[in-house]
């Protein structure tokens, strides 16, 4: 199976939204607060078209495979600024990574991560590292990221009030 990645363009909006619906469905299995919210589609499309298409500091990458008409994976990447106190310099952040279930385990996520790493390293971004969040009970995602060379560095705790 040949996998290609590319930067999304305005006309990819509806395909990306379909993938994000799959992502929110996946996340909501672990925590229902991650379900798709009302007006999410319209809000995200505006954000995508105005902030991510042709942006120096944000992008959406799509994965396509031979023989498929629609993208099978998506990744949103952005550059985050320096922390005001810590020595956490500009760094990359992946705000979502999703691969259709029938294509998982075939290297699609790894190709998206590799493409994001290339994008993060290029000028004007030139960041030294990137981060991605995984929900605590999503062991499959954590194992995939660790097998791709990423290390866990923080734990986030919460108390529901």
What pLDDT, on a 0 to 100 scale, did the predictor assign at position 87? 86
Question: What are phi and psi for residue 74, nearest 5 degrees?
Answer: -145, 150
Instruction: Report the predicted TM-score, pTM, of the whole model to 2 decimal places.
Output: 0.94
Domains of the chain by start residue, with CATH: 3-148 (3.40.630.30)
Series of mean pLDDT values for 10-residue runs along the chain (161 residues): 94 96 96 93 94 94 95 97 88 97 96 98 94 95 96 92 95
Distance (Å, rounded) from C-alpha 138 to C-alpha 27? 8
What pLDDT, on a 0 to 100 scale, did the predictor assign at position 144? 96
Judged on CB neighbours under 10 Å (0-12, 13-18, 19+), 27 is buried
Contacts of 126 (CB under 8 A, 6+ apart): none
What pLDDT, on a 0 to 100 scale, did the predictor assign at position 30? 95
What pLDDT, on a 0 to 100 scale, did the predictor assign at position 82? 85
Beta bridge partners of 97: 75
Token output for 63: 């994965």
What pLDDT, on a 0 to 100 scale, did the predictor assign at position 88? 86
What pLDDT, on a 0 to 100 scale, did the predictor assign at position 22? 96
Contacts of 49 (CB under 8 A, 6+ apart): 10, 13
Distance (Å, rounded) from C-alpha 108 to C-alpha 117? 14
């Amino acid at each position: 199976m040949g996998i290609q990645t590319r930067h999304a363009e305005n006309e990819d909006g509806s395909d990306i939204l379909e993938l994000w619906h799959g992502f929110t469905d996946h996340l909501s299995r672990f925590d229902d607060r991650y379900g798709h919210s009302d007006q999410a589609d319209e809000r995200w499309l505006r954000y995508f078209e105005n902030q991510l298409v042709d942006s120096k500091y944000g992008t959406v990458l799509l994965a396509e495979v031979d023989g498929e008409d629609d993208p099978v994976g998506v990744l949103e990447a952005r550059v985050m600024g320096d922390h005001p106190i810590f020595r956490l310099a500009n760094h990359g952040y992946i705000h979502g990574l999703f691969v259709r279930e029938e294509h998982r385990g075939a290297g699609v996520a790894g190709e998206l991560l590799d493409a994001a790493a290339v994008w993060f390293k290029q000028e004007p971004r030139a960041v030294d590292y990137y981060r991605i969040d995984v929900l605590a009970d999503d062991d499959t995602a954590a194992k995939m990221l660790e097998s791709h060379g990423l290390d866990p560095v923080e734990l986030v705790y919460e108390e529901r009030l």
